[in-house]
Amino acid sequence: MQTGLDVDERLLNLAEQQARRDGKSLGSLVEDALRAVLQTPQTPPEPFEHAVDSVEADDAFFSALEEIRALGRLPAAHRRVNLQ
């Protein structure tokens, strides 16, 4: 069966390269990927309200975060570290 899909061009290029490396057609690669996704058991997402309750329960974390903000420290991802 033939069908048309809108696919990100970069993703399509990567898929075509992978298909060539695997020695198969693009269609075969896409079929394999769809089978893999559809065979993987999907768990329903946790209700958002419950997720928020569990995050709000961590008061120590938020207290520490507020202290860090008050001190004016940058997040660890933005710190410069000299390893010499």
For 45-77, the pLDDT digits (tens) are 766 665 555 555 567 777 777 777 777 655 555
Residue 68 in any domain: the answer is yes
Counted domains in the chain? 2
- Give CA–CA dist 28/26, Å, rounded: 5
Q: Which structural domain range is residue 74 located in?
A: 48-78
Residue 18 in any domain: the answer is yes
Residue 4 in any domain: the answer is no
Q: Residue 30: CB partners within 8 Å, gap ≥ 6?
A: 15
Residue 83 in any domain: the answer is no
Residue 3 in any domain: the answer is no
Residue 2 in any domain: the answer is no
Q: Residue 22: CB partners within 8 Å, gap ≥ 6?
A: 29
Please tell me the pTM assigned to this model: 0.48
Residue 57 in any domain: the answer is yes
Residue 1 in any domain: the answer is no
